[in-house]
Structure formats: structure tokens, C-alpha cells
Structure 1
Amino acid sequence: MPPDAQSRGCLILIEDDPVMGGALADRLELEGFDVAWARSGREAEATARRVRPALALCDIRLPDGTGEALMARLRPLIGATPVIFMTAYGDIDLAVRLMREGAADFLVKPFETEDLLRRIAALLPVFAEAGGELGASAAMREVEALLERAARVDSTVLLTGESGVGKEVAARFLHARSPRADRPFVAVNCAAIPEALLEAELFGHEKGAFTGADRRREGFAEAAQDGTLFLDEIGELPSALQSKLLRLLEAREFARLGSAKSIPFRARVVAATNADLSALVSSGRFRRDLLYRLDVIRIAIPPLRARRDDILPLARRFAVECAARFGRAPPLLRPSAEEALLAHDWPGNVRELRNRVERAIALAAGPWLDAADLFPGEPRPMEEVIPSLAAAVAAAERRSILAALEATGGDVTAAAERLGIARSTLFEKIRRLGIRTG
């Protein structure tokens, strides 16, 4: 792997052909993976005992057996780690059967390396560059573009959106792309700190400034140095502190409690709110002049229900992240889980999605997550949610194909006949829809 590349995790490549194996290993390492190249099933087992891979890429015909037999031996070692099989055209029926037994995907040789990379990105979106860091939807790609442009200037930014949409994630994204990226990012939740302590926490205090102040302490504004000071839930800032924050922004200086000495303020301020600040101004609960100072560049982050194309990629990303934290392989989502995720209205937005995935993984008994894992204890009430036409068509196609494969015992030719489509068309739909059952 190049010395300046960031590792995307370990990938086991199981391929006995020295030319193809070498070419794939080189390209995957360039993409940032730590590649463990095994030239036989025996080598693959030995590797799997040493490391837990993020993904396995396996030839279906090996010098010491079949990929099918190898996968059965590897499962106790790699858990639900996704497996992509590489197969010749004559073994397509076997590859389809392997997907029904838990394989994640298959590729027919010869294939384009870019196609392989797209398949990997779909299975491991936490490692993927495509679709954007904040989301795959057009709405979030536009948010990213606005944040990228805002990062180049030093103006104050106001992030708006419902609770849980990811405003702090957006603020960190902006900071990481700004000239201040190597300086501190200091986050302050204005609603989480008691009002009596908030001024001292924000501006710091001298020894003896109040009862219990037994030493001098720097505040968040000072700790931010030349970096970014992120003020979350800015609408909850008490009135007395609003005037002091206004002075901080206008004079670019502050003083610790108990001191008359001014300290220069050099950080950039990014604020966030889920409240309507204009309404708070009208009711007298927020200073109009402070709003003007904060609202230089406003970026609205849409709720998750308004960007449903982000739901499944985010769910898979959180599954990878949570599983890694628990020391497990990431589980795969059954079609029932995907449909339930797409149908839910997400009142808690991305935060709710992350929490549901984390809880499901923590309690999961096997390598798959279904709807009951993500939404336990429900019959859930029917919700007035209209999925996108593309999502509805994909869900209907998936159900029909699974039913046809079930009815024909996995015979792809017979299933294609029942569905009234060409065999090659069915193969493509199986790949595109990521059909897999346990």
C-alpha cells in the first residue's frame, strides 16, 4: 500500500492465478486496502485465523477444492464478512446458489476492475469515496458542495436542521476541509451545560473568580485557538450570554471570569440550531443583532425522511462501524430489513438510524439483520410514507425474483422462464439488487 494511503481494512484475496492475483492485489492496495493474497484454500484458512478481514474475494475454483467448500470452512472464522466470488461463465448457477447460501455477490470472468470496486463500495460504503462522505443522495451532495465552498472562506456559518440530522458531522466536515484543519475543533452544546456554569465554560475563569474556582482554567473559546469553535443548540444560549457572544464575534476578544485582561479570539465560529431563530427573535428570546452575526452563511441539512437514498448506505456504514467497535464482522441486511428501513419515517433522523443499527448488532444472534432486529417489539403503525418510484420498483423486483428462485429451488433458467425474462437479464438483476438469503 502507498505510504501515505489510509487503510480501508484487510481484504483476503483467494486466487491461484499468479497474473490475475497479482494485478488485483496491486490495484486493491492502491485503493487503500491491506491485501492478504492466498493462493489456495489452505492459505486462506491460515490467513483468516490471523486477521478478521473486511471482505473476502474468492475464486470459485481453487487448486485444493471449491470456493463453496472453502466458504463453509471460513464462516466460523470470518463470521458475516462479505464474500464476493469470481467465477467462469459455466459456474454461474453455482455462484447464484452460493449467494442464496450467504455469499454477498459474484463476478463473471473476465470482469473490469472498476466493476469490482463498485461492488466493494456497495458492500463496504464506509470505505467508499463514491456518493459523498455525508450521504449518497443528491440533497446531501449539494450540502457537501456548500460546505466545501464555505470552508474556503472564514465567515461564520449557521447550520440548521432537525435534531439528529448530523449538524456536528457537517461542522467537522467543514473544519476538515478548511485551512484550519490542523488546528483544534472544539464542540460546545449550549443546551447541555447548566446556565450558571456556561459562561465560565465558554470563556474560562481565574483562580478565585467564584466559589470553588481553585485554579485558573481556560474556556472553550481559548481552547479553540486558531481552529473552529462549534456552538451547537445556539438557540438555547441564555440572554445574558448572547451579548457576550456578540462581543466575541464583533471585537474578536474576550476575558476570563475574574479578569479584566482581554484575550484575542482567533477561531472560526460555526453555530447550529434545530430552532427557528427568527421566531425566537420575534418573541424576544434571541438577539436580532446576534442572529445577523451568526447567519452569514446558512446551510440547511434536510431530515432523513427527505433523502431516502441515504438510508441504506448509512445503515450499512453504521453496521460496519459498530461491528468493528464490538470486534465483530459486519452483519448483512436481509430484504425485510431493507424494506423496513425504507418504510420508516425516521423522526429521530440519522441519530435514530445509528442507534437502531447499533442496538441490533449488539443483540444480533447471527450474521444477518432482519426487520425484527431493527424494529423489535413492533407491529409498527402504518405510516403515510411514499417511497421513491425507483425504491418501490426495486423492492417489487426483489420480491418477485426471490419468490421465483424459491419456487424453482434456485434454478436460474427456470426462474427466468417463470418471470418472463431472459436468463442474462435475471443474472444482472440478481447482481444489481444484491439479492441474498440465508
Structure 2
Amino acid sequence: MTTATRVPADPWPAPRASGPVRAVVRVPGSKSGTNRALILAAAADGVSRLRGALRSRDTLLMAGALRTLGVGVDTEPSPGATGADWVVRGGLGHGDGGPVAVDCGNAGTVARFTPALAALTRADTRFDGDPQMRERPLTPLLDALRQLGAVIDGDAMPFTIHGKGRVPGGSVTVDASGSSQLISGLLLAAPGYDRGVEVSHVGGRLPSGPYLDMTVTDLRAAGATVEATPASTGRPPVWRVAPGPLRAHDRAIEPDLNSAAPFLAAAVATGGEVLIPDWPEVTTQPGRMLPALLEQMGAHAERTPAGMRVRAGDGLHGLDADLGDVGEAAPVLTALAVLADSPSRLRGIAHLRLHETDRLAALADQLGRLGADITVTEDGLAIRPAPLRGARLDPLADHRLAMTYAVVGLAVPGVTVDDIATTGKTVPEFPAMWAAMLAGPHLASDNTG
């Protein structure tokens, strides 16, 4: 995957930790939860309020896309919480209009969730985005929408959907081995299709399965009837969503557990301890798997009434794990792996080649500038301990890579990061949050010996 040519501003000097990090860090709302909730609220009749939702580039792009499709979306302050309340006045597909244009930026959820809704409007909607977005998997989604009855010009971005006010729906097969969002995008709009939608996955390994669990859970919470049949011998996984109205409702957005990853990793990298408040007891977010993975690297993790507490153990060890369900954590785990005292093998993440950039190649190349010994394998990365030095690193417009470099910088002097502002895709004010973490507030255990 190529990236746009950019002239970077002065790089951000990644702070080196002067000692063990000991802090409480409150992370913003889930991007995945916010954007799914926005989609479902847009398709419902009535007014929904999303409390503590994330306000970042990706969610602002989603809100803008829905406004383009005729949905009322406003924000209000969220007292006592990080983020904002989104107020959504649903009722998609009732107006005439167009042509209109949707800017997807580099947000996969916008590019893959909104086209199926646009087919229900009466507008000609053109979709485009950042140069990187033009290379991310979309063709299987567009092919599936055509099979369901949508009228579309183009096989990749930019493309135009000619909304007719209704979509027949029915059964369709999709190769979603590039992204589970290709299926989620169909399911989220399915209640508005005449016959609903039945989706079967065919092709390679389906990545990030927990995100499909999140989609199913959120659909049911909005009143949809959903059946999910797991894969069995000789049969692919199948999802069925019946036609019917969605109900407007208020919901609280969970903290983004993926965005907690660099802060928890900071505890492990520096021999310290970090608490993430409001960590949900039960969640479909894939980030719920992160504490167990950190434990495999030698850390101690405990969910307490105050939140998730992770503290370093006696050392930082390599990790051998299949990360197919939790690929978003792979970059940060790679940062810890290059600091570990033994080799690591991260598997099941071939799909990371198709994210904001080719994350596997980028991690090997950029962290290689520090002296890291990383080999790209068929489905992941192999990392071996090596002496590290400072260098200037480019996140290639990828928010997860920028946060990864910040983690390495805690332990390696002289790391600088171009375009640290790209973290605003999911974590607004990341540099300020990082600095605040290094400054405290201190945990209660600091005073208990």
C-alpha cells in the first residue's frame, strides 16, 4: 500500500520516562462503538443520545457523512465524562436530493458503513477519501450491495451510489478476509432493506471477529432481529438480519480499549503501573484481550472496582500469540516486543497490510531505523532482541503507529515522531494525555509501599 507524499513539520520528541510510570489515565470513548451507534441512530425513527461518545477525526467524518445523507447530528457537552454527547435525529431515506458527496477521509468505518445506508436515500451520493483510503478493501462490499439491489457506479473509491429510496435485500456472499467491516456495513443497514439481509463469508480467514459480535450486539440493542450462525465443517459463518424498524434509544459509549493500549504498555515498558478507569466488566470490544496478552509478556493485570490496573512484573518477555481477533493491539505489542528480553512471534495479522498503511511493512521498516530486528512473515511479524538507538520515525498517517513510537520512546532516547497529530484520528490530544500520564496523577499504591 502506498501513502501520500507529505512534507512533515518539526517532529515530536517522544518523551523518555525518567522512572516507572505510575498514573491514572482516562481514555476517550470507543471509536468503533461511537460510529456503530451513530449509524444505528441515523437509521432509527426518533431522537437518540449517545453519552460520552468519541469526538475525533473518524467520528466527525461519520457525523458529517450522516448529515450529508439527511440525518440531524449535533453534539452537546457531556458533563463529567470524556468526549461529548451526540444527539441524532434519525429517519434516513425520507427525502429527495442530490447529488451529494461524502468525505470518508481515512476512516474505514465511514467508507464501509455508510454506503449501504446511502442506497436507502433518494440521492446520488459520491464517496471519496484520503489517498490511503482509495487502496483499502471496498470492492467486495460494492459487489455485495449490487447483488442486494443497489445501483452503483464504480468498483473502488471514488464511487457513486444512486439511491432509489429502497433496496430489495436478500442473500449475499462476501469475501471479508480483508476486513470484517465489509460484513458489518451490510448488517447495520439490513433492517431497512425490504427482505433484510443474509450474509455468508467465503474466502480466507475472517479477521477481527469480535467486531462482528459488537455489530450484532448493537443491532439487537436497537431492536433488530439478528441470527448469527458460526462456521462449521464445510459451512461458512452466516448472519441474518430481518427487516423491521429500529428504535431510537440513549446509550453510553464505553471507553476505547484499543486506545488504552499505549498507556497500559507504558506501565510495562517502564516498570510502572497504570490504571484505566471504567474498564467494562463485560464487553465485545477486542481490546478486552489486551490485559491477558500483557500478562504473557510478564505483566500483572487486574480488573478492580476502579478500573483495569496493569503493573510491570519482574521483566518484559517476548510474546508468541495469534492476534487475529485483536489486530489493533499488534503495533503496540510490537513496541513492547522490541524492548523484550526474548524473541516474539505475532501471528494471524496479515490483514494489517490493508489498514491505514501496510502496518507490517511499516513497523519493520520504521522500527528498523532504531536497530530493531523485525522480519515480516506471511501472516505477521517475528521480532528478536537487538540494541536500540534513537531515530526519526514516520507513522505514515497511521494513528496506531504514532502511538507505538511513543511507547518505544519511553525507553529509547532520541526517538522523534513525524505528524504526531495523526493520533487525533482516535485519541484527541494524545500528546497532552501522554505528558499528563508521565506527570501523574500518582496511584494510591505509591503511598502504600
Q: Which has the higher contact order (CA 8 A, sep 6+)?
A: 2
Please identify which structure carries the higher strand content: 2
TM-score normalised by length of structure 1: 0.28
Structure showing the higher helix proportion among its residues: 1
The structure with the larger Rg is 1
TM-score, normalization by structure 2: 0.28
